[in-house]
A and B are shown apart, each in its own frame.
Chain A
Amino acid sequence: MAWLAGQLVATLAIASLLVFWVLRVLPGDAATVALGMNATPEALATWRAEHGTDRPLIVQYGEWMAGLFRGDFGRSFLTGNDLTPLVLDRVQVTLILVGLSLALALAIAIPLGTLAAIKHRSLWGVVITGGSQLGVAIPNFLVGVLLVSFVSVRLDWLPAGGWVPPAVSLTEFLRHVTLPVIALGTVQAAIITRYVRSAVLEVMREDFLRTARAGGLTYGQALMRHGLRNAGVPIITVIGVQISAMLIGAVVVERVFVVHGLGSLLVDSAQNRDLQAVQSIVLLLVALVVVINFIVDLLYTLLDPRLRLAGSVV
């Protein structure tokens, strides 16, 4: 535990250094973007002094870090507003989107992947494998655009975009969230289906499963009792990686469906050279990914007692 927590802190420290310094190397000046093409040099200098971008970098980094320890992301260069409530609001949107998409992806992928493995020699297996192949090949923004033009524009069933928080109206929330979740979730489902299939296939060839069958269990019972748990470790690994991919994939889906999540905030901030916002969002994304990996590691030890033992030895 302590080892993992230490790893988490070290990763974040290194990431914060990288993010901060790499952004400072980027050409393009926030003051010019904020004040526009016609600002005088004096106005630009005043702006830089007000926003502290003319101070030594080490001081700026120190202040950013000090703020983060207080739970304060700082002020946006552009709007002058506190970033903390804004970022927390946006991260909520992205997490809801990613969470629901993941749930949809798993609800599709686990039964289909298992079915594809069990029936891998029959037509069903081939159909599922082929379908998932197609899903892997289609980028999620394309699914999004197709859904909008068909479901929203042609059929007029659901809104083409926008976001209503569940606290405001649950039904409106569902109407707005359905298409983005399908766009993000089905593509992930296709990818995860393939991993589930191969993990289950792998397990099915194991000796212990044959032994279980010999002990009188049916194929399904053997798989349920001994197989899925063993297939779980590689599947959990892939899900961990895919959640990170979905956080990034959400950037594009948010754009297509005009959902104002962390991704769109990141893109807008980068375009406006609002470095204060960019570095905080990137670090938050890094933290999320690190935490997800941390949880995945914990799940390993739950699923596989051997890893628990190995962990204690280390």
Chain B
Amino acid sequence: MFRSSHRTRLAVGLVTALALAGCSAGQTTTSPDVGPGGVRTDVIIAVALEPVNLDFTTTSGAAIPQLLMNNVYETLVKIDQDGGIVPLLATSWEMSDDGTEYTFHLRRGVTFSDGRPFTSADVVASFDRVQTHWIRSQLTLPMAVVDHTEALDDYTVRVTLHRPSNEWLFSIGTLLGAIFPAEIDFDKMTEAIGTGPYVVAERQQGDRIVLTGREDHWAGPAPLRQVTFRYITDPTAAVNALRAGDVDMLLTTGDRIAPLSNANFQVIEGTSNGEVLLSFNNRIAPFDDLRVRQAFAYAIDREAVMEVASGGFGTLLGAMVPPTDPFFEDLSGMFPFDPDRARELLAEAGYGERDAGLEPLRIAFDVPNIGYATTSAELIVSHLADVGVNATIRILEFPLWLDQVFNRHDFQMSIVMHIEARDLMTVLQPNYYLGFDNSVVGPLAAAADAGSFEEYVEGMREVARLIAAEVPGLVLCLSPNLIVADPALTGIKPNAVTESLDLTALSWTK
């Protein structure tokens, strides 16, 4: 043993020598950017997923809008921390009585980061382009209700919809409503020109993206001169970077909080749109039987799963509706943890021990190789074993999972997080991998969307209740939005209500 300590001393000696060499040269690059009053004006944020380019209109994934929305690109309306719709580039708007015409009054004195003034022509072009230039996916569907967009004058825009839609107004507060200059004379893959308080100044692929604050933003100069997103894939390395002071703020997962909570950091927990779903293939046995799906809901102790998968952080849900949605209702108690009830339901469906004249239930459990999925899966299997279900885990690399489970629907049970906002009905499309028959709830949801706001909320609550009872998949929990940061940082938005990591209020108190 003492041999190893000898080696350590040798290594430490070498490190000291190099560290001293580093200090004596008077290095300045690590010294923080300090503004008037000695308050820092730069922030370094560690994030796991790096944008592959800057164009979310042709490239999917959460990383690009996380960086750009609200910070670089703005929208007519903004989704606030409680899920409400508030003015941003539009100062006000009116809806016609039949709900098919929206008239937006635009904010004056707004400029794009290259100096171009923002007018109604930019809105018309941006909304039109969603139909003509974006990659078409389930996510652009809310914009399909737009019939046409017209400029009434430089600062008034009228949008006519095919039919009334509550979802639409929400959707233009997400990336779908991002306002680009009318004439896009730059490469969206490598440049971003928006009306937001920050601009993309530097991009080192594989390492970092640096935003700098605009002095000429319509709401006043950006509170920070520089925001650096450092992309650190390995969660342990990210935690170490925070503890070593290399970064000021970290987006992380619940299982990483323990070593940080006793250190001098602020831990902020908010909600996200990421529902962790234990998905069933509703097309095939045994999950074409409602009793089996309900039995699984009773058999699994979701609180214990949340404890293991995310250190107890998160929210238990009954349906894929996070608390920031207007039609949220606490349905988490619909199927309490009750192994006896699970066994009864399974026996009714004909599954159980062979001695009792029943058929033992064996299922394949295809799990993508993602942290939360693999850790939850182990515990779920043991809970299922308690009620006599023999589930075998097969770990799949994520691209393989996409191919086999998601595209070819070749699976019985799986687990994955669905991160999009308001994705309840998307996930329940009959051609989606769950294969859920939405012939009952589909029309109900469409009617709710076309009604008044009150009808929308009531209607969607009804839909969520019906879906929760059908258990097309079991919502294990709502993933928390967890931020660990230097205690002197203020203006951190706890809830991730859209894809955006909203930095518009972020600043230092000292």
Closest Cβ of chain A to B31, distance in Å, is 12
Cβ contacts under 8 Å, B22 to chain A: 158, 171-172, 174-175
Judging by beta carbons under 8 Å apart, are A38 and B52 in contact? no
1/0 per residue, CB under 8 A from B, across A140-158: the answer is 0000010111011100111
Judging by beta carbons under 8 Å apart, are B137 and A38 in contact? yes
Interfacial residues of chain A within 69-101, with CB under 8 A of chain B in the complex? 78-81, 86, 90
User: Do A258 and B29 form a contact, CB below 8 Å, given A33-B402, A134-B3, A134-B4?
Assistant: no
User: Do A157 and B59 form a contact, CB below 8 Å, given A28-B402, A79-B52, A271-B399?
Assistant: no
Judging by beta carbons under 8 Å apart, are A171 and B237 in contact? no
Is there a chain A Cβ closer than 8 Å to B261's Cβ?
A: no
Cross-interface CB contact of B207 among A127, A134, A163, A271, cutoff 8 Å: A163
Is there a chain A Cβ closer than 8 Å to B19's Cβ?
A: yes
Is there a chain B Cβ closer than 8 Å to A6's Cβ?
A: no
Cβ contacts under 8 Å, B426 to chain A: 38
Cβ contacts under 8 Å, A153 to chain B: 240, 243-244
Is there a chain A Cβ closer than 8 Å to B232's Cβ?
A: yes
Interfacial residues of chain A within 120-151, with CB under 8 A of chain B in the complex? 127, 130-131, 134-135, 145, 147-149, 151
Judging by beta carbons under 8 Å apart, are B137 and A256 in contact? no
Cβ contacts under 8 Å, A158 to chain B: 15, 18-19, 22
User: Do A86 and B205 form a contact, CB below 8 Å, given A160-B241, A160-B243?
Assistant: yes
Q: Roughly how many angstroms separate A305 CA and B27 CA in the complex, as a whole number?
A: 50
Stretch from A222-230, A260-268, A295-303 at the B interface: A260-268
Judging by beta carbons under 8 Å apart, are B206 and A260 in contact? yes
Cβ contacts under 8 Å, A39 to chain B: 60, 135-137
1/0 per residue, CB under 8 A from A, across B232-258: the answer is 111011001101111000000000000
Is there a chain A Cβ closer than 8 Å to B53's Cβ?
A: yes
Judging by beta carbons under 8 Å apart, are A152 and B3 in contact? no
Closest Cβ of chain B to A81, distance in Å, is 7
Closest Cβ of chain B to A23, distance in Å, is 12
Closest Cβ of chain B to A42, distance in Å, is 6
Judging by beta carbons under 8 Å apart, are B136 and A40 in contact? yes
Is there a chain A Cβ closer than 8 Å to B440's Cβ?
A: no
Cross-interface CB contact of A157 among B19, B52, B400, cutoff 8 Å: B19
Cβ contacts under 8 Å, A131 to chain B: 3-4, 6-7
Judging by beta carbons under 8 Å apart, are B21 and A174 in contact? yes
Q: Roughly how many angstroms separate A29 CA and B30 CA in the complex, as a whole number?
A: 42
Closest Cβ of chain B to A189, distance in Å, is 10
Is there a chain A Cβ closer than 8 Å to B94's Cβ?
A: no
Q: Roughly how many angstroms separate A191 CA and B3 CA in the complex, as a whole number?
A: 16
Q: Roughly how many angstroms separate A257 CA and B18 CA in the complex, as a whole number?
A: 17
Q: Roughly how many angstroms separate A174 CA and B23 CA in the complex, as a whole number?
A: 11
1/0 per residue, CB under 8 A from B, across A221-240: the answer is 00000000000000000000
Cross-interface CB contact of B403 among A28, A160, A260, cutoff 8 Å: A28
Cβ contacts under 8 Å, A145 to chain B: 236
Is there a chain A Cβ closer than 8 Å to B61's Cβ?
A: yes
For B14, give the chain A residue with the smallest CB separation. A182
Judging by beta carbons under 8 Å apart, are B407 and A152 in contact? no
Is there a chain B Cβ closer than 8 Å to A57's Cβ?
A: no
Is there a chain B Cβ closer than 8 Å to A35's Cβ?
A: yes
Cβ contacts under 8 Å, A38 to chain B: 60, 137-139, 420, 426
Judging by beta carbons under 8 Å apart, are B241 and A161 in contact? yes
Judging by beta carbons under 8 Å apart, are A175 and B19 in contact? yes
Judging by beta carbons under 8 Å apart, are B15 and A151 in contact? yes
Q: Roughly how many angstroms separate A265 CA and B233 CA in the complex, as a whole number?
A: 11
Q: Roughly how many angstroms separate A34 CA and B56 CA in the complex, as a whole number?
A: 11
1/0 per residue, CB under 8 A from A, across B383-418: the answer is 000000000000001111011101100000000000
Cβ contacts under 8 Å, B403 to chain A: 27-29, 32
Is there a chain B Cβ closer than 8 Å to A179's Cβ?
A: yes
Judging by beta carbons under 8 Å apart, are B60 and A36 in contact? yes
Cβ contacts under 8 Å, B96 to chain A: none
Cβ contacts under 8 Å, B86 to chain A: none
Judging by beta carbons under 8 Å apart, are A264 and B241 in contact? no
Closest Cβ of chain B to A160, distance in Å, is 4
Q: Roughly how many angstroms separate A65 CA and B236 CA in the complex, as a whole number?
A: 39
Cβ contacts under 8 Å, A258 to chain B: 230, 232-234, 237, 241
Is there a chain B Cβ closer than 8 Å to A178's Cβ?
A: yes
Q: Roughly how many angstroms separate A214 CA and B16 CA in the complex, as a whole number?
A: 46
1/0 per residue, CB under 8 A from A, across B9-50: the answer is 001101110110110010101100000000000000000000
Q: Roughly how many angstroms separate A33 CA and B216 CA in the complex, as a whole number?
A: 38
Q: Roughly how many angstroms separate A32 CA and B234 CA in the complex, as a whole number?
A: 24
Is there a chain B Cβ closer than 8 Å to A213's Cβ?
A: no
> A147, A152, A153, A170: which has the most chain B beta carbons within 10 Å?
A153
Is there a chain A Cβ closer than 8 Å to B189's Cβ?
A: yes
Cβ contacts under 8 Å, A81 to chain B: 53, 205
Judging by beta carbons under 8 Å apart, are B399 and A160 in contact? no
Q: Roughly how many angstroms separate A34 CA and B402 CA in the complex, as a whole number?
A: 11
Interfacial residues of chain B within 155-191, with CB under 8 A of chain A in the complex? 189
Judging by beta carbons under 8 Å apart, are B18 and A174 in contact? yes
Cβ contacts under 8 Å, A172 to chain B: 22, 27, 29-30
Judging by beta carbons under 8 Å apart, are B15 and A160 in contact? no
Q: Roughly how many angstroms separate A47 CA and B422 CA in the complex, as a whole number?
A: 27
Cross-interface CB contact of B11 among A35, A171, A186, cutoff 8 Å: A186
For B6, give the chain A residue with the smallest CB separation. A131
For B24, give the chain A residue with the smallest CB separation. A171
Judging by beta carbons under 8 Å apart, are A80 and B234 in contact? no
Judging by beta carbons under 8 Å apart, are B246 and A159 in contact? yes
Q: Roughly how many angstroms separate A258 CA and B206 CA in the complex, as a whole number?
A: 9
Cβ contacts under 8 Å, A271 to chain B: 397-399
Cross-interface CB contact of B399 among A28, A162, A255, cutoff 8 Å: A28
Is there a chain B Cβ closer than 8 Å to A194's Cβ?
A: no
Is there a chain B Cβ closer than 8 Å to A37's Cβ?
A: yes
Q: Roughly how many angstroms separate A105 CA and B141 CA in the complex, as a whole number?
A: 58
Is there a chain B Cβ closer than 8 Å to A169's Cβ?
A: yes
1/0 per residue, CB under 8 A from A, across B199-239: the answer is 00000011100000000000000000000001011101100
Judging by beta carbons under 8 Å apart, are B205 and A43 in contact? no
Is there a chain B Cβ closer than 8 Å to A279's Cβ?
A: no
Cβ contacts under 8 Å, A43 to chain B: 135-137
Is there a chain B Cβ closer than 8 Å to A197's Cβ?
A: no
Cβ contacts under 8 Å, A135 to chain B: 7
Interfacial residues of chain A within 158-211, with CB under 8 A of chain B in the complex? 158-164, 169-172, 174-175, 178-179, 182, 186
Q: Roughly how many angstroms separate A273 CA and B398 CA in the complex, as a whole number?
A: 10
For A172, give the chain B residue with the smallest CB separation. B29
Is there a chain B Cβ closer than 8 Å to A276's Cβ?
A: no
Closest Cβ of chain A to B191, distance in Å, is 13
Judging by beta carbons under 8 Å apart, are A149 and B240 in contact? yes
Judging by beta carbons under 8 Å apart, are B137 and A36 in contact? yes
Residues on A facing B (Cβ under 8 Å) = 27-29, 32-40, 42-43, 47, 78-81, 86, 90, 127, 130-131, 134-135, 145, 147-149, 151-153, 156-164, 169-172, 174-175, 178-179, 182, 186, 255-258, 260, 264-265, 268, 271-273
Q: List 22 A-B contacts (CB under 8 A).
A: A32-B399, A32-B406, A33-B398, A34-B52, A35-B137, A40-B136, A130-B3, A131-B3, A135-B7, A147-B11, A153-B244, A159-B241, A159-B244, A159-B246, A160-B237, A161-B240, A179-B15, A182-B15, A186-B7, A258-B232, A264-B206, A271-B399
Given contacts A32-B402, A36-B137, A147-B11, 4 further A-B contacts (CB under 8 A): A27-B399, A37-B402, A172-B22, A186-B7
Closest 7 CB pairs of A and B: A36-B60, A28-B399, A160-B244, A38-B138, A260-B206, A38-B137, A152-B244
